[in-house]
Structure 1
Amino acid sequence: MSKPTVNIFWFRRDLRLTDNHGLQKALKGNLPVIPIFIFDKNILDKLPEKDARVSFIHRQLQNMRTRLESEYNSSLAVYYGTPVKVFSKILEDFEVESVFANHDYEPYAERRDNQVYDLFETEYIEFYTYKDQVIFEKEEVVKDDGDPYVVYTPYMKKWKEVFKDLSLEEFEIDPYAGNFYQSTELPYLRLEDMGFKPSSVRVPDYDLSSETIRNYEDTRNFPAQDGTSRIGPHLRFGTVGIRSVYKKALAEQNETFLNELIWREFFMQILWHFPHTKDESFKKKYDRIEWRNNEEEFRLWCEGKTGYPLVDAGMRELNATGYMHNRVRMLVGSFLCKHLLIDWRWGEAYFAEKLLDYEMASNVGNWQWVAGSGVDAAPYFRIFNPTTQIKKFDEDRKYIKEWVKEFDSDTYPEPIVDHKEARERCLKVYKAALDG
């Protein structure tokens, strides 16, 4: 019996059926399209069994599968394994002409795509990928001489200049939905089939209401206020299309909100141009810093028991919810690197484990920013005072009291380091490294 001839659409960081560039391109072809998702063992084997992000992805896949079955008489095939082995298995059951996907820019993703490309080449399968998770990628916004920008403000200005000539096309699938593979009998996996269990931590819905975007500038710096969009995880996993997010920001004419979206693309193009920055300082001389890397102090930082209430509130919020307010992220990052002289890579790895919106480019970029070692970074002598930051951003201690229940009691720990002494120590260590 001959195998059905099909095309494949491979979902990765684009978990939605609306406005999906690669999916639309696949459906415009002349063969039935099987949508697939691969839970990649190379990634999942490093995660805890109740990882909230895995639960979130699984729920989203179930929602997509339900819609495909009810509206399009199709389904979604879900696999667990390494991508090369999964595609080898698919080729036992189907004659695949082409595989479609959207671009992914992280170093591991590029290695993965090269590995499957080698397999496809031996099987005479075409592999097409498209830009979908950003407005501008790779070398689309560069200096006039072709060099990448390494300072945000000129990048942002050039981004906006190029954007003026752009028409934001949305990639709808309904006109071509008849090309979905007509079968609801495709493989599916439960979380438990992969050794995972549902997490009690939920990814919150995002809020792109006019009120949130309009008030963003006034509310975004105060962690006790619910003034942010919570869009991060949804951009990370592509449960919302980036084009619709930009259209909303433009409609509300909020430059601050728009600039935050551009920061994301700035860090993405930095990681793409300088992939070594995922574990090496962008400014090489910063790798000479003699970090103290005290493991006990790192544990206290992770647990939110440093004796500095705003730092501790942020870490406890992160541990409990997978989220931390951006203003507080800057403080806890600076505290780890500058007050405790612990390598930014330790903090980056901890955030990678905990953050629901973890995105390598932004996480690495922001950690190198607070350490002083990255592009357009804070100067090394800029050291946040964790006490005066309370007066600026949580004056009534509302955020602190929510997360540090023993605050203002005898059971709250003493500061693990004196701010003035830590600041002087940091300046001395950094200066020795940078002048050496």
Structure 2
Amino acid sequence: MNTLSSPPVTLFWYRRDLRLHDNAGLYHALRSGYPVLPIFIFDRNILDQLDDQRDRRVEFIHKAILDMQDEFRELGTSLLVRYGYPLDIFQKLLQEFNVQAVYTNHDYEQYALGRDTAVAGMLRENGVPLHTFKDHVIFEKDEILTGSRTPYTVFTPYSRNWMGKLNDFYLRSYPIDRHQHAFCKISAQPVPTLGEMGFQPLDEAFPRKTVPGDLLKTYQQTRDLPALRGTSEVGIHLRFGTVSIRELARQARESSQTFLNELIWRDFYFQVLHHFPHVEQHSFRREYDNIQWRNNEEDFRRWCEGRTGYPIVDAGMRQLNETGWMHNRVRMIAASFLCKHLLIDWRWGEAYFGKKLRDYDLAANNGGWQWAAGSGTDAAPYFRVFNPTLQAQKFDAKGEYIRRWVPEFNSLNYPQPMVEHTFARQRAVETYQKAVKKEV
């Protein structure tokens, strides 16, 4: 096919932004002056590393793609969906179409940055620019800095600056509907099935996209109680962009400062990842890489399976294994237990959550684990060791959450605690002291 004689087009590359409405990169693509052809790539560099054929995230993405395809069909166009390696696929797209430019939205993880650099270089060699835009967060990269123009490493002053800079401009939606006529007019294109990509469906219902207003009114009181459905549960939608962060932040600003703070934490961890990319593999505070972890594989297996003898920890791990989700308060308790009670490297736990969480997001997962381990920005000091029993009494006083996930609790079938809390706390403090050379 002679692409030079075919009509010129702009490609919009979907990644973490699986929606038609309020999408920054898509908006700019539609205003580029050329018909827009949207594309999505099931990236084998990522999928080939997944060892669970029933991965909830892949199924979620696949369902979101099918839903979008229905929306595109109503507009007289189609999403082009490819399965393979991005560099190879873009080389083929340049042969198939007369591509004038490629538009997309920013990604922040090291793999994504490397992928985008490689694709941009190949496109540039062919005279095609790659334009990227902020869409996944409210503020990114260097938009929130200290007075000395350095990145924040403590949340509270970052959040103050974030709130001080926030205005309606940053929360304004992109009016995609005004420019929908700019899509290419093509017939519906096929979407690879899960089976064709080596995956199997779970056929589970996914969590709600919207956050009920009544929930936000009581969010501050209910978000730490795992027996209640008191958290937003929109993490997976934020992760893959099936909801707009701007719309959610507008709702939070009007209804719940506590919930808005959670969105600020999300931005905070993304800017940490941007300014300190070593956190993907190392402790933010590098001296914490000196900790002599026990890393007992049998202990780790019991933690993964929810058989530690601490019911609040076990309930959380079983909820994670069965549903792909764990209540946020319990995530902190389970993470602290692994790092402090069992002295297992936080990276082991982070990787396990990375395999299991349907709402897994590297920036937030890494930030949460390093907070629990004491090694991160704004982290809990190493001598703060959650007492799982007291945590259960405080946040699951009636034991409803525990009984739901650990029905054998208080029976002879339930294991004794793996380690006694007072002993574990002292061992953790001493081990951390040796590594960081500080005194309590």
> Can you list the C-alpha shifts for 1:66-117, whole angstroms capped at 9, x where unaligned?
11112x1101111111110011111221111100001111111110100001
Q: 1 CA distance for matches of 2:292 and 2:102? A: 48
The alignment status of 1:41 with 2:16, answered yes or no, reads no
Aligned match for 1:157, one of 155, 160, 168: 160
Instruction: State the 1:133 CA deviation.
Output: 0.7
**Aligned letter for 1:357?**
D
Following TM superposition, where does structure 1 have runs of at least 4 consecutive aligned residues deviating by more than 6 angstroms?
A: none
Residue 208 of structure 1 is aligned with which of 208, 211, 228?
211
Q: Which residue identity is paired with 1:305?
A: R
How many percent of aligned residue pairs carry the same amino acid? 51
Aligned to 2:171: 168
The total of aligned residue pairs comes to 434
Say whether the 8 Å CA contact 1:52–1:203 is kept in structure 2. Answer: no
Matches within 5 A, 1:23-422: 23-47=26-50, 48-70=52-74, 72-164=75-167, 166-252=169-255, 254-422=256-424
Unpaired runs of at least 5, structure 1: none
Gap regions ≥5 residues in structure 2 = none
Deviations 1:26-53 (A, max 9, x none): 1112211110000111110111211010
Give the structure-2-normalised TM-score: 0.97
Distance in structure 1 (CA, Å) of the matches to 2:357 and 2:71 = 28
The alpha-carbon deviation at position 200 of structure 1 amounts to 4.1
Which amino acid is the alignment partner of residue 58 of structure 1? H
Give SS of 2:414's match. Answer: coil
Matched residues in 1 for 2:157 and 2:65: separation?
Answer: 39
Q: Give the distance between the partners of 1:76 and 1:386, measured in 2 at CA.
A: 48
Displacement after TM superposition at 1:203 (Å): 2.7
> Separation in 1 of the partners of 2:403 and 2:14?
42
> Would the alpha carbon gap of residues 420 and 200 (structure 1) be closer, same or farther in structure 2, given more than 3 Å must change?
farther
**Alpha-carbon distance in 2 for matches of 1:268, 1:123:** 32
Root-mean-square deviation over aligned CA pairs = 1.2
The answer (yes or no) to whether the contact 1:207–1:230 under 8 Å persists in 2 is no
The 2-side partners of 1:345 and 1:69 are apart by: 44
Contact 1:52 1:202 in 2 (8 A): no
Letter of the 2:268 counterpart:
F
The residue that corresponds to 1:9 in the other structure is: 12
Q: Which amino acid aligns with 2:322?
A: A
Question: Offset of 1:263 from its aligned partner?
Answer: 0.3
Deviates more, 1:15-24 or 1:197-206: 197-206
Asked if 1 retains the 8 angstrom alpha-carbon contact of 2:321 and 2:356, the reply is yes
| Distance of aligned partners of 1:187 and 1:165 in 2 relative to their CA distance in 1, 3 Å threshold | closer
CA distance in 2, matches of 1:360, 1:422: 29
Structure 2 distance, partners of 1:430, 1:202, is 43
TM-score of the aligned structures, taking structure 1 as reference length: 0.98
The separation in 2 between residues aligned to 1:312 and 1:221, in whole angstroms, is 17
Tell me the secondary structure at the aligned position of residue 115 of structure 1.
Answer: helix
Deviation at 1:360, TM superposition (A): 0.5
Change beyond 3 A, Cα 1:167–1:275: closer
Rounded Cα–Cα distance in structure 1 between residues aligned with 2:202 and 2:288:
38
Deviations 1:341-389 (A, max 9, x none): 0000000000000111111111111100010000110000000001111
